[in-house]
Structure 1
Amino acid sequence: MKTKLLSLAVAAAILSTGTASADQLEDIKARGTLICGTLGTAEPFSFADPQTRQIVGYDIDLCQAIADDLGVKMEAKPISVEARIPELVQGRIDIVAGNLGYTPERAEQIDYTTSYFVSLQKLLVKEGSAFDTIDSLAESRISAPKGSSSERYVREVLPQASLLTFQDPPSAFLALAQSKVDAMILSEINAEKFIAQTGESFRFVEQPVAEEYWGLGVRKNEEAFLQQVNVTLKRLEDSGEGEAIFDKWLGQETVYKLSKPFKFDTPVSDPVLRPAL
């Protein structure tokens, strides 16, 4: 009898857990709050406003749009890069908006929404140099942050190039500024910030070496919630509100001077590598 009761209790617990997992969308609505995990230190995506000390940014505005469509409040919870997936899987946050590039390994642990940002990995050269295509740098000296995806992309696309790696992006950029290398590879958004800070003359090789797709992360098997977030992203794309948010934080009037190179309703995928011409 005791064994039977124990078995019934275990079965009830399993059913209860399954129901809670399947009803995350309803749970969020019942709670009245969407908990959005963000880095909080990654300008312009999520960072502390120096005047108000509130977390603001591109990620925050997107989370707010999702919360608005759900009819709930939005709570931004700062998390570290390493904690993005554990915090989500363990249920301490509802969604991750934190520079979460797509990888097959991550996709085994979480589900991705459609794209909300595409990071273009580009080669940066000095103004006036003769390099204007990826192919023209095939046997040149190129700097990259050590252990970065940027380094991996150069090794794959320009295997004959002399690659010099540095501990961090500023050091890789300094090597280019001091003409120790012919080019540097980095995400366009980070490179633009370096250019703005130094005031020196640099330009990009127009063709990206790679495109990294970023999605918002949600827990596995939460189809209703995932679908609702994707509905919001498509609404933002179709209405133009998404482009307005992009321009506010990343557009031509900002230090990044970017144009939106993607659509919010595009599925995330492996990075797209551009072969040399």
Structure 2
Amino acid sequence: MPFKSVLSIGVLAAAALVSASASADQLDDIKQRGELVCGTLGTSQPFSFQNASTRELIGYDIDFCKLVADKIGVRVNYKLLSVAARVPELNESRVDILAANLGYSPDRAEQIAFSNRYYVSPQKLLVRADSGLTTIEQLNGRRVGATKGSSSEREIKARLTDSQVIGYSDSSAAYLALQQKKVDGQFASELVLARLVIQSPPTAPVTIMEKSVFDEAWGLGMRKSEPRFIETVNKILDDAEKSGDAAKIFEKWFGPETPYKLKRSFVIGPIAG
């Protein structure tokens, strides 16, 4: 066979391989392996945490990951991540999707894709009841604790510019620092702080400031290079809103029969909407 013909066949074969690779995408890969790998925290009640008796992972984020997996038609495998590891683990393809208290921000949206919002979290400040602190402005210039690597840490630095913001491994560590008077306030989502208030001993009460610093929309995290998967996940969320399934998940974890007794004040929709 002439050299030019061999070369042509090689070029065509290489082009075919490139074309096949380009046509395959994450959604196809997930269906082929029969598994959706969901990155979650596992330490954030009631979003993702272990059942005390069965050690099974349960929570709001867990139910939404299972909803996505069920609608795609695959099983779900949960991978526990730290807050700081969420985006790197996703972009390194070690997880398919994040359901991990992931607040939207323009900076973070440059790194990953967000689904439509599936939760909206008022971000508030927690202080010791005997501190005399009642307003957000009073904490400017003081020490404030937040979870290291979280959007809460970043946002409170930007909003309380004179404060010293100290990052801790998780909300429990920040709360301990508050009780030990290493910080004057703790910044986190209202729900995280409500849980800490419930758990606070009578001898060391804490209180949540009524006014929120800002309201944060949360989305499921995905890689920006997978538009078909992103579209599929958003359709699943939109359908769950229309069917009432999304509201049922909310009521299960935050409604009147739970310790939190929160009212659902949002609908699933565009995260910047």
Cross-structure match for 2:22: 18
Code of the aligned partner of 1:80: L
TM-score (norm 1): 0.75
Provide the C-alpha distance between the structure 1 equivalents of 2:120 and 2:87, rounded to a whole number of angstroms.
20
Cross-structure match for 1:46: 48
Q: 2:271 aligns with which of 254, 267, 271?
A: 267
Structure 1 gaps, min length 5 = 270-277
Cross-structure match for 2:159: 157
Cross-structure match for 2:142: 141
Q: 1:204 aligns with which of 204, 208, 217?
A: 208
Are 2:218 and 1:214 aligned? yes
1:164-210: CA deviation from partner (whole Å, max 9, x where unpaired): 63645445434544667654322222222221212444332222113
User: Could you tell me how far 1:122 is from its partner in structure 2?
Assistant: 0.5
Cross-structure match for 1:75: 76
Provide the C-alpha distance between the structure 1 equivalents of 2:131 and 2:261, rounded to a whole number of angstroms.
22
**Secondary structure of residue in 2 paired with 1:112:** strand
**For structure 1, which segment, 56-65 or 239-248, has the greater mean C-alpha deviation from structure 2 after superposition?**
239-248
Aligned residue pair count: 264
**Secondary structure of residue in 2 paired with 1:190:** helix
User: Could you tell me how far 1:52 is from its partner in structure 2?
Assistant: 3.0
**Secondary structure of residue in 1 paired with 2:24:** helix
Q: In the superposition, relative to structure 1, how do residues 42 and 219 fare at CA in structure 2: closer, same or farther (>3 Å)? A: same
- Contact 1:143 1:173 (8 Å CA) reproduced: no
Provide the C-alpha distance between the structure 1 equivalents of 2:18 and 2:265, rounded to a whole number of angstroms.
44
Q: In the superposition, relative to structure 1, how do residues 219 and 197 fare at CA in structure 2: closer, same or farther (>3 Å)? A: same
Identity fraction in percent: 41
1:14-52: CA deviation from partner (whole Å, max 9, x where unpaired): 11111002xx44554555544433334443222333333
TM-score (norm 2): 0.76
Taking the TM superposition and a 5 Å limit, the aligned residue runs for 1:72-111 are 72-81=73-82, 84-85=86-87, 87-89=89-91, 91=93, 93-111=95-113
Cross-structure match for 2:10: 6
**Secondary structure of residue in 2 paired with 1:220:** coil
**For structure 1, which segment, 231-240 or 146-155, has the greater mean C-alpha deviation from structure 2 after superposition?**
146-155
User: Could you tell me how far 1:7 is from its partner in structure 2?
Assistant: 2.5
- Contact 1:145 1:167 (8 Å CA) reproduced: yes
Provide the C-alpha distance between the structure 2 equivalents of 1:177 and 1:74, rounded to a whole number of angstroms.
42
- Contact 2:145 2:185 (8 Å CA) reproduced: no
Code of the aligned partner of 1:215: G
Provide the C-alpha distance between the structure 2 equivalents of 1:214 and 1:18, rounded to a whole number of angstroms.
30
Structure 2 gaps, min length 5 = none
Are 2:163 and 1:187 aligned? no
**Secondary structure of residue in 2 paired with 1:52:** coil
- Contact 1:192 1:257 (8 Å CA) reproduced: no
Code of the aligned partner of 1:123: L
The root-mean-square deviation of aligned C-alpha atoms, in Å, is 3.4
- Contact 1:153 1:209 (8 Å CA) reproduced: no
- Contact 1:36 1:74 (8 Å CA) reproduced: no
Cross-structure match for 2:233: 229
**For structure 1, which segment, 46-55 or 187-196, has the greater mean C-alpha deviation from structure 2 after superposition?**
46-55
